[in-house]
Amino acid sequence: MHDWLQIARNQAEERFRSLPFPAPKDENYRFTPIAYREGVAAVSAAGDVPPAIAALDAEEGALLLLDGDECTVLGQAQGFLFTDLLRAATLGSEAVRLRLRESDLFKDDKFAQLTSARWKNGAFLHVPAGVKVTKPVRLAACARESEEHHRNLIVLEEGAEAVLIQECWGNDDLRFVGELTEVKLGRNSRLHWVVLQNQGAATDSVVRQRIEIGAGAELRYTPLHLGGKLTQVRQETHLAGEGASLETQGAARGGETQHFDFWLDARHESPRSQSNMDYWFVMAGKSRGVFNGQIEVKHGATDCESSQRSKSLILGSGVVHSIPKLLIKTDAVKAAHGASVSSVNFEQIHYLQSRGIPRAEAERMIVRGFTEGVVDRLPTEGLRGRADAALDRKQGTLHA
């Protein structure tokens, strides 16, 4: 390992050791206490990665498979670079090294510093100016160890376009997974970033994402969270350039005692920027969801438009905490937020049953309709099929 990278890791480890563990009074963790401890139980012999995840789909241009310590690249990245971050860091440009040495990336976040210190690998996507990637590229990260950390860097230069799929998978062993992702979009670039999270039933995931959107650039963000025991995502988006755009449609489907916590912070820093964040929750059993969304419009960021909305369908004893916030520091803006919580309408079930549809199928249709809009945004048939299969496995009775 290069000296500069080891020094950066050591500095991050020191920051991790010096920062206190979050307390219940900390706003970011009020609903989500994370019980991290060193050296969690060793995992059993890991099974094979599902063939559909490990294979390059015909609709995809390239696949980067991170399977524990193993890294495999399939397909061709013509005109752009899609490789593992460790290779890019040690053999690549000084620009990559500068980003990995950056000390202010979630510098006060204990878990971000933990990942900065201990990441083994991740993805590096770089699309040069004017290049339009015609097929989606996919990162498949498969956790193997009892504690794993991934770091990703996505850079699109001016006028570039791409679709990036990030698929996370693991078996049901006890596991802690950390992720630190940085996205930088140049002027007038376009990125559709898709996340399908299907971790194992005993996995705790802590995800930190920092996004910078340049002038006229657009980010479509489509996360679908289905797996894991506890998942906390903190996303910090800077709409840094005039006319920058963020459009998010995401969903979480919980069951049993699963816990999903999304902290989404959109900061409008330039005029005429736009953000729209919609999240759908379906919580069954004793699962819990948290939507903590904040829109901040800085001084001078006039003529901005922004909205956030969470819609929740409660099954059984599920719970959703929705906490939208607006911080408006200038005039001439449009900003709105909203939240709704509902349960299954039994009149709808009765109507479907009267049309000859069995009760179980009627329940499935109503519940699946709540997340169908997010599944429809997935860019390949194979990915939609895996999402549909995972949703079917989670489908139970209304009171499960």
Whether residue 161 is predicted with pLDDT greater than 80 in this model: the reply is yes
Q: Which of 18-27, 31-40, 292-301, 335-344 has the lowest mean pLDDT?
A: 31-40
Sign of CA dihedral 212, 265, 33, 278: negative
**Tokens 């495999």, residue located:** 72
Is pLDDT larger for residue 236 or for residue 33? 236
- Rounded to 5 degrees, what are φ and ψ at 13? -65, -40
Whether residue 274 is predicted with pLDDT greater than 60 in this model: the reply is yes
Convert the pLDDT of each residue in 312-367 to its tens digit: 999 888 999 999 899 999 888 999 988 888 877 777 777 778 888 887 777 777 77
Convert the pLDDT of each residue in 174-203 to its tens digit: 899 999 999 999 999 999 999 999 999 999
Reduce the DSSP state of residue 306 to 3 states and report it: strand
**Tokens 């520091």, residue located:** 329
Is pLDDT larger for residue 31 or for residue 250? 250
User: Average per-residue pLDDT in the chain?
Assistant: 90
d(CA 229, CA 198): 10
| Residue count of the chain | 400
At 377, is the pLDDT very low, low, confident or very high (cuts 50, 70, 90)?
Answer: very high
Please enumerate in sequence order all residues whose Cβ is within 8 A of that of 217, keeping only pairs 6 or more positions apart, or say none. Answer: 156, 185, 186, 187, 188, 189, 190, 191, 241, 244, 245
Convert the pLDDT of each residue in 129-158 to its tens digit: 999 999 999 999 998 888 999 999 999 999
Q: What percent of the chain has pLDDT over 90?
A: 67
Mean pLDDT of 237-249: 97
d(CA 239, CA 237): 6
Domain ranges of the chain: 3-345
CB 66, CB 150: distance < 8 Å: yes
At 219, is the pLDDT very low, low, confident or very high (cuts 50, 70, 90)?
Answer: very high
Angle at 250 between CA 378 and CA 183, to 5 degrees: 80
pLDDT for the residue 380: 97
Query: In one letter, which amino acid is 136?
Result: P
Convert the pLDDT of each residue in 8-29 to its tens digit: 899 999 999 999 988 878 887 8
Helices (H) and strands (E) in the chain, counts: 8, 20
Mean pLDDT of 248-266: 95
At 44, is the pLDDT very low, low, confident or very high (cuts 50, 70, 90)?
Answer: low
Q: What are the CA-CA distances from residue 155 to residues 128, 135, 163 (Å)? A: 8, 17, 12
Mean pLDDT of 370-394: 93
pLDDT for the residue 400: 44
pLDDT for the residue 397: 44
For residue 27, the 8-state DSSP code is: G
d(CA 125, CA 73): 12
Which among 191, 146, 149 has a CA at the least distance from the CA of 171?
Answer: 146
pLDDT for the residue 399: 46
- DSSP character string of 244-266: -EEEEEEEEEE-TT-EEEEEEEE
d(CA 266, CA 262): 13
Task: Say how many C-beta atoms besides its own lie within 10 A of residue 46's C-beta.
Answer: 16
Residue 342 has which token pair?
Answer: 């509902």
Whether residue 94 is predicted with pLDDT greater than 80 in this model: the reply is no
